[in-house]
Amino acid sequence: MNVAEKTEQPPPVAGDGGAAPPAFLAYLKEADIAAFQRAYLFSERAHAGQFRKDGKPYITHPLAVAEILAGWQLDGQTLIAALLHDVVEDTGISSSEIAQEFGKPVAGLVDGVTKLDKIQFEDKAQAQAENFRKMLLAMARDVRVILIKLADRLHNMRTLDVMRPEKQGRIAQETLDIYAPIANRLGLNHLYQELEDLAFERVHPTRHKVIEKAVKAARGNRREVVEKIKAAIETKLGGCQIPAQIFGREKHLYSVYRKMQEKHLAFSEVFDIYGFRVIVEDARACYLTLGALHALYKPIPGKFKDYIAIPKPNGYQSLHTTLFGPFGAPVEVQIRTQEMHRIAEAGIASHWLYKAGEDTVSELQIQTNQWLQSLLDIQADSRDSVEFLEHIKVDLFPDEVYVFTPKGRIVALPRGATAVDFAYNVHSDVGNHCVGVKINSEFMPLSTPLKNGDRVEVLTSESARPNPAWAHFAITGKARAHIRSALKNTHRHESIQLGQRLLDQAARALGSDPDSLGAAQWERVEKETGRDREDTLADIGLGKRLAFVVARQLLARDADSPAGRATGPMPISGTEGVAVRLGKCCRPIPGDPIIGQIKKEQGLIIHTHDCPQVRHYREDPDKWVDVTWDVQQDKQFEVGIRIIVANQRGVLAKVAAAIASEGSDIDNVRMEEEAGTYTSLYFTVSVQNRLHLARLIRALRALHEVVRIMRLKGKGDERGGNVV
Distance CA 373, CA 371 (A): 5
pLDDT greater than 70 at residue 526: yes
One-character DSSP codes across 360-408: S--HHHHHHHHHHHHHHHHHHT-SSHHHHHHHHHHHH---EEEEE-TT-
- Cα-Cα-Cα-Cα dihedral sign, residues 631, 635, 641, 645: positive
pLDDT bin (cut points 50, 70, 90) of residue 674 is confident
pLDDT bin (cut points 50, 70, 90) of residue 64 is very high
Is 89 considered catalytic here?
Answer: yes
pLDDT bin (cut points 50, 70, 90) of residue 184 is confident
Distance CA 255, CA 253 (A): 5
For residue 712, CA distances in Å to 98, 353, 358, 611, 709 come to 72, 67, 74, 12, 10
Which range has the worst mean pLDDT, 72-81, 158-167, 190-199, 627-636? 627-636
pLDDT bin (cut points 50, 70, 90) of residue 579 is low
Q: Which amino acid is at 460?
A: T
pLDDT, residue 60, reads 92
Is 262 considered catalytic here?
Answer: no
pLDDT, residue 133, reads 63
pLDDT greater than 60 at residue 338: yes
Going by C-beta distance under 8 Å and a sequence separation of 6 or more, which residues neighbour residue 408?
none
pLDDT, residue 360, reads 42
pLDDT greater than 70 at residue 625: yes
pLDDT, residue 535, reads 80
pLDDT, residue 692, reads 92
pLDDT, residue 643, reads 93
- Cα-Cα-Cα-Cα dihedral sign, residues 461, 464, 468, 471: positive
pLDDT greater than 70 at residue 7: no
> Looking at the whole model, is its pTM more than 0.85?
no
Strand arrangement, sheet containing 305-306: 245-250, 274-280, 330-337, 319-324, 305-306
Query: What angle do the packed helices 124-141 and 144-158 form, to 10 degrees?
Result: 130
Going by C-beta distance under 8 Å and a sequence separation of 6 or more, which residues neighbour residue 585?
607, 611, 612, 613, 713, 714, 715
pLDDT, residue 120, reads 46
In tens, the pLDDT along 130-149 reads: 666 665 666 666 778 888 98
| Higher per-residue pLDDT: 393 or 160 | 160
Span 177-193, average pLDDT? 81
pLDDT, residue 132, reads 62
pLDDT, residue 401, reads 74
Q: Which amino acid is at 658?
A: A
Q: Which amino acid is at 477?
A: G
In tens, the pLDDT along 239-282 reads: 999 999 998 877 788 888 888 887 777 777 676 666 899 999 99
pLDDT bin (cut points 50, 70, 90) of residue 173 is confident
Quote the mean pLDDT of the chain.
78
Q: Where are the domains of the chain?
A: 3-208, 215-350, 485-629, 637-723
Angle in degrees, CA 197, 413, 404, rounded to 5: 140
pLDDT greater than 90 at residue 461: no
Catalytic residue selected from 5, 32, 67, 89:
89
pLDDT bin (cut points 50, 70, 90) of residue 695 is very high
The Cβ of residue 497 has, within 10 Å, a number of other Cβ atoms equal to: 17
Tell me which residue of 686, 659, 683 sits closest to 670, measured CA to CA: 683
pLDDT, residue 140, reads 62
Span 559-577, average pLDDT? 56
In tens, the pLDDT along 77-99 reads: 999 999 998 898 888 788 889 99
Whether the Cβ atoms of residue 46 and residue 93 lie closer than 8 Å to each other: yes
pLDDT greater than 70 at residue 128: no
Distance CA 481, CA 476 (A): 9
pLDDT, residue 359, reads 42
Which range has the worst mean pLDDT, 227-241, 355-369, 374-388, 441-455? 355-369
Catalytic residue selected from 32, 90, 272, 345:
90
pLDDT, residue 494, reads 73
Look at the domain 3-208 and name its fold: Hypothetical protein af1432 (1.10.3210)
Span 441-465, average pLDDT? 86
pLDDT greater than 60 at residue 517: yes
Half-sphere exposure of 366 (CA within 13 A, CB side): 5
Architecture of domain 637-723: 2-Layer Sandwich (3.30)
Distance CA 390, CA 126 (A): 11
In tens, the pLDDT along 580-592 reads: 678 888 888 888 8
Which CATH number fits the domain 215-350, given the four candidates 3.40.50.1100, 3.40.50.1380, 3.30.460.10, 1.10.10.350?
Answer: 3.30.460.10
pLDDT, residue 288, reads 94
pLDDT bin (cut points 50, 70, 90) of residue 361 is very low
pLDDT, residue 604, reads 73
Secondary structure (3-state) at 28: coil
